[in-house]
Chain A
């Protein structure tokens, strides 16, 4: 029933995604087991091999061997990849999409255009959230409050306050939350992470990321009556009101600051997540200098910049990270990152469910020893899902835990603020505010349109 994650993502972006086939120099480490890549507590926490015997079923907490009853909220490209035999409810504000997705579910299921009806259902243990980005925080928080575990597609949040509220709510309610940065479930990313952490390339003081430009359009986005099957008010949710235009809805939400934020918040969430992982930067709490420039859209209604140049400097650890659109692609990869060490450098292509890296990253691991386990043969998107469902049963912390996902998203968020303000900023990650720029602080939060409140 599951769509292949790679194919799904290719279809989503209408182009090939980076893979081992993209370059003869790159190796997709599909035979590498997670146990051999990451040892110690991190791996144990992420992938418990033995489910504690004390884990018993309770309301809102399935037992170790229980079926996890799920619901899918948002049924576009990614949302449909989460539908399976355990899906008990489907939700989308577009009744046409809802109907199409319903045909993928075996047996009867609850169909609704209002996600609150999903959260009301006691039999649902966990929800997959694949609504547009401006809904991620609110839906996650409301789902946690309703006693549901959450798998939320990236980016985790659009604002610093959204991220903080998500983390606090998940902790307070004791819910398991996984964010869909599937790179952390990809063997190639694990191999790169292990090689970088081992010091194979020396100390990494610079990471350069590249990605194609954001999309453009000639569509001026003239206001139209929304189609009868679409609840546009609900699609907008907490975002500022704007009239419906097909150029704004669904996939195109990415190209608007109020809903998405361009590729830096989209695939940037993957690339920055891997960078934080490889460099053990998930908990960085010092000051970050951030500078962002770009070129405005020449025509059409999209409002994210076409191109972007971003530089973050992590003052407390002498690390500079850059994001360039379009930048200089390496090794025939559409997007990726190069880690510059003082002895050598390493390139990692992609960073979502499709990821590959250079053979030299694999020196530390014996790729061909032993036999691949079943989990090694499935794609990273599916491994990521399974990790979440295992954690729902075990109550362990998933591989893409919410604080790490928020940390990655906030790098995008502060870059977009620096771009909007047109000046370099200093952000204090520990204090979650800017240094000496009260106007920038006003963008740490986005007011929610009534009746929504976070």
Chain B
């Protein structure tokens, strides 16, 4: 018997149901099966990004973790060598969420993942989100991780406008990036 999924999972469930040949996980509300279904949705790739981010910070902690795992798998798979086009599509999907009005936890996680897969153009896009107080620490962390030199430029530009403790945080980000490069 199939139960109604929680509202926040509905888009993903719809996405899953739209794919033929995926009968292995009954889409019911039992947490274990639900988590398995969510985790398996990594194979949706860019198409699954929005639906999975809808589940991030779900009140069902198991679903939340499954969604984060699926998203990380999407991102790290797309970021494999030789898959630049795929990485670009994923990054675009993440950016659409990061700049959207979706719930803050989902946007924060999208920003974090952009730090893993995003390229030079995303550094500049993320720079705009340094103005959003609820996101700016996540953006700062993502920019520290991104290897492109444009991340330094974005951080320096933001520093010139910032005040107080966040200005100090941006100094620290630049310092951490310079020290990290010494290792790399």
Residues of A within 8 A of B (CB): 160-161, 164-165, 220-222, 240-241, 296-301, 303, 420-423, 432-433, 436-439, 441-442, 444-445, 447-454
Contact = CB atoms under 8 A, between A and B. Distances in A.
Contacts of B77: 422
A242 to B, nearest CB: 11
Contacts of B172: 448, 450-453
A77 B39 CA distance: 35
Contact of A420 (B76, B147, B175): B76
Contact of B76 (A422, A441, A444): A422
B35 interface: yes
Given A296-B69, A438-B147, A445 B183 contact: yes
Nearest to A436: B81
A450 B169 CA distance: 6
A450 B174 CA distance: 12
Given A160-B183, A453-B175, 12 more contacts: A296-B39, A300-B62, A432-B183, A439-B79, A441-B147, A442-B146, A447-B176, A450-B168, A450-B172, A451-B169, A453-B172, A454-B179
Interface of B: 31-32, 35, 39, 60-62, 65, 68-69, 72-73, 76-77, 79-81, 112, 115-117, 137, 140-142, 144-147, 165, 168-169, 172-173, 175-176, 179-180, 183-184
Query: Among B76, B79, B173, which residue has the most Cβ atoms of chain A within 10 A?
Result: B76
Ranked 9 nearest A-B pairs via Cβ: A220-B61, A439-B79, A447-B144, A450-B169, A447-B141, A453-B172, A421-B76, A161-B183, A445-B180
Contacts of B142: 447
Given A420-B72, A421-B76, A422-B77, A161 B180 contact: yes
Dominant secondary structure at the A interface: loop
A399 to B, nearest CB: 26
A297 B68 CA distance: 13
Most chain B C-beta atoms within 10 Å of own C-beta, residue among A161, A441, A453: A453
A454 B173 CA distance: 10
A220 B176 contact: no
Nearest to B73: A422
22 contacts: A161-B183, A165-B179, A221-B61, A240-B112, A296-B69, A300-B61, A303-B65, A422-B73, A422-B76, A438-B81, A439-B80, A441-B147, A441-B184, A442-B116, A445-B183, A447-B141, A447-B144, A449-B141, A450-B137, A450-B172, A451-B168, A454-B179
A158 B182 CA distance: 18
Nearest to B69: A296
B44 to A, nearest CB: 16
